[in-house]
Structure 1
Amino acid sequence: MKLVINIPCYNEEKTLSAVLAEIPKKIPGIKTIEVQIVDDGSTDRTSEIAASYGCKIISHKKNLGLGRAFKSGVEAALESGADIFVNTDADNQYPSSYIPDLIAPVMTSSVDIVIGNRVPWKVEHFSPLKKTLQWFGNLIVRNLIGTDIPDTVSGFRAYSRESLLRLNVTTKFSYVLDTIVQAVKMDLTVSSVPIRTNPPTRKSRLFKNIFQHMWKSGTSLVRLLIIYRPFQFFGVLAVTSFVPALAIAIRFLIFFFLGIGKGHVQSLLFAVVLVIISGLFLVSAILAFLVGNNRKLLEENLYHIKLMSWNHRLKKEKSLHKK
């Protein structure tokens, strides 16, 4: 069984050595451990340090974002024949000593994805605001996809080969929300194991401040709602437009039958506008639903293409071993 440990990097020369030094050299049940870094356009000694530890290096000519770095890592891992894929951060936030615990459920084929649960409300270096936002974000995601995973935005994860073939990263910002939502929708089994985190070594590079984090996370959640819950998202907007329109129309009719409706025509026109807006939201929901069905067909086709490529590579390797 082959394990590939993936580390997306962007100017991580100060912390990468600590991460690589802690990675287990041997794990019971794992025949081969391969460490690969995705150098996402670094301008420092990141690649040089990785090479000194014998890591496989995937390079981006410029900084493309965490989502693209993760995608490149997945593609390289599948190409190299990975059975299990672990993704961790280069800032040493996640102790690599937890990797055996993280992959154990995947090794037994009982789980497709295992998430390292940081237990955010107990992390000492998280501010009260960050803890609150983490809790609120986790609550929304859990309700969105119907799962009880306690830390949905943790980037310390183990994936089975089947899950790698199934998942498709479509964002540059961060893959964590996309992949967890896709996994649940595709009936992949997702679990978690408790971990502790190391003290922060630097500020996050995903966002400049908490408000940018809120904006990016919020837009990601809205996008996921539109993709995976179109009737819920557009339905709420349609109802919030239609209910006031109905109330305004009833008010106008009351005035009309009382013989004083002439001065309230403007309110009737406003009600008509709201009804039209409500109808547009409803049409948007139907269109998003149809697009979603088409997306499922495309995802299934893409999965079979990946699977065929994997099987072809496996047969080629077996034939080379026989020779």
Structure 2
Amino acid sequence: MNTSPALRPLIVVPAWNEELSVGETVQEIRAATPDIPVLVVDDGSTDHTVHVARLAGARVLVLPFRLGVGGAMRAGFRYAVRHGFDAAVQVDADGQHDPRQVPALLSELGDAEVVIGARFCHPADGYHVRGPRRWAMVVLSKILSRLTKTRLTDATSGFKATGGHALPLFAEHYPDEYLGDTVESLVIAVRAGCAVTQVPTRMRPRRGGEPSHNPFKSMIYLGRATMALLLALIRRWDLSTTAPAPLRTVEEGLT
């Protein structure tokens, strides 16, 4: 089902030391979705990420120190709410997400408030995860499928669209802990009554920079993923207030 023509989305690109890829990523997003503004949230980078993003034509929100993906996205959600956007799409700065698939995610916001771009649906793309990290993804997806009452095959994907009640909810409560931006955020959304769904998407190799994980950390990932899910299931939040706190000095870095 298509979303309302009045939908006003914002593409949020969290970036930490992504000077090698963020410029091309922003240019590709703008070419694929020219009517959707792009906000790069610089997560305390120590390289030229901010300068490159600005040259590429993005709005830039500069965080004074590193908060992690969750903290950067929460700042992006707050910016979206405060500036009248009613949907936000996370696109990673490393070029792995194909911005031509953003409309597919947005099209599902008519029926859901969180839409996940599921990886692993196109084996020919060559995107594979094996070993303990893959095991963790499978287990997390099965458990979260039961919670959301819909089949999820990739609960840890960072390629997501958020709208409806979930947008102000995440602007206030989006987790910034490790894996909180994927696992715990879905638990929060479900407990607040938000519908979650997924659409198949393609993944591509990184354009540059350093990957957030490597094979030597797979076992650590498995343990931390399990702990993140357990904490998300037992944790309690006050979800009655969803008006986002002000950005304060964070927004001073916006151009």
TM over 0.5: yes
Matched, 1:192 2:198: yes
Alignment of 1:164-243 (within 5 A): 164-167=167-170, 168-174=173-179, 175-201=181-207, 203-205=210-212, 209-227=217-235
Unaligned runs of 5+ in 1: 228-291, 310-323
CA–CA separation in structure 1 for the residues paired with 2:198 and 2:182: 14
Per the normalisation by structure 2, the TM-score is 0.81
Residue 248 (structure 1) aligns with? none
Please state whether the residue corresponding to 2:52 is helix, strand or coil: helix
Matched, 1:3 2:5: no
**CA-CA distance at 1:91 after TM superposition:** 1.1
Contact 1:8 1:38 in 2 (8 A): yes
**CA-CA distance at 1:93 after TM superposition:** 1.2
Distance 1:131 1:170, change over 3 A: closer
Matched, 1:299 2:210: no
Contact 1:68 1:171 in 2 (8 A): yes
CA–CA separation in structure 2 for the residues paired with 1:132 and 1:121: 19
Q: Which 4+ runs in 1 deviate beyond 4 A?
A: 24-27
**What is the letter of the counterpart of residue 102 of structure 2?**
I
Please state whether the residue corresponding to 2:165 is helix, strand or coil: helix
Contact 1:67 1:169 in 2 (8 A): yes
CA–CA separation in structure 1 for the residues paired with 2:169 and 2:187: 12
CA–CA separation in structure 1 for the residues paired with 2:117 and 2:20: 24
Residue 251 (structure 2) aligns with? none
Aligned to 1:93, which of 91, 96, 117?
Answer: 96
**What is the letter of the counterpart of residue 186 of structure 2?**
I
CA–CA separation in structure 2 for the residues paired with 1:203 and 1:9: 12
CA–CA separation in structure 1 for the residues paired with 2:176 and 2:97: 23
Unaligned runs of 5+ in 2: 1-6, 247-255
Larger RCO (alpha carbons 8 Å, 6+ apart)? 2
Contact 1:145 1:185 in 2 (8 A): no
Aligned to 2:130, which of 128, 142, 150?
Answer: 128
Let me know the Cα RMSD of the aligned residues.
Answer: 2.5
Per-residue CA deviations over 1:21-63 (Å, capped at 9, x if unaligned) read 2214575xx9x52110111110111100111122111111111
**CA-CA distance at 1:219 after TM superposition:** 1.7
CA–CA separation in structure 2 for the residues paired with 1:111 and 1:61: 34
**CA-CA distance at 1:2 after TM superposition:** 2.0
Residue 41 (structure 2) aligns with? 38
**What is the letter of the counterpart of residue 194 of structure 1?**
P
Which structure has greater helix proportion? 1
**What is the letter of the counterpart of residue 198 of structure 2?**
S
Residue 114 (structure 1) aligns with? 115
Per the normalisation by structure 1, the TM-score is 0.65
**What is the letter of the counterpart of residue 114 of structure 2?**
I
Residue 25 (structure 2) aligns with? 19
Identity of aligned residues (%): 25
**What is the letter of the counterpart of residue 228 of structure 2?**
S
CA–CA separation in structure 1 for the residues paired with 2:71 and 2:127: 28
Per-residue CA deviations over 1:249-290 (Å, capped at 9, x if unaligned) read xxxxxxxxxxxxxxxxxxxxxxxxxxxxxxxxxxxxxxxxxx
Per-residue CA deviations over 1:67-112 (Å, capped at 9, x if unaligned) read 1111111111111111221011111111111111111122xx3221
Alignment of 1:138-149 (within 5 A): 138-149=141-152
Residue 103 (structure 1) aligns with? 106
Figure out how many residues of one structure are paired with residues of the other and give that number.
233
